[in-house]
Amino acid sequence: MDKKAVTELVEKYIAMWNEPDDRVRQTLIDEVFTPNATYTDPTVAANGAAAIGEYVAAAQKNFTGMLFTFGAVLTHHDAVHFSWQVGPTGGALGASGFDVAWFEGGRISRLYGFFNGH
pLDDT in tens, 38-59: 999 999 999 999 999 999 999 9
pLDDT of residue 63: 85
pLDDT in tens, 57-113: 999 888 888 999 999 999 999 999 999 999 987 777 788 999 999 999 999 999 999
Could you tell me the sign of the dihedral formed by the alpha carbons of 93, 43, 107, 28, in that order?
A: negative
Model confidence at 11: pLDDT above 90: yes
pLDDT of residue 118: 55
Sheet holding 44-47, edge to edge: 44-47, 33-41, 107-115, 95-104, 79-88, 66-76
pLDDT of residue 14: 97
pLDDT of residue 1: 74
pTM of the complete model beyond 0.75 = yes
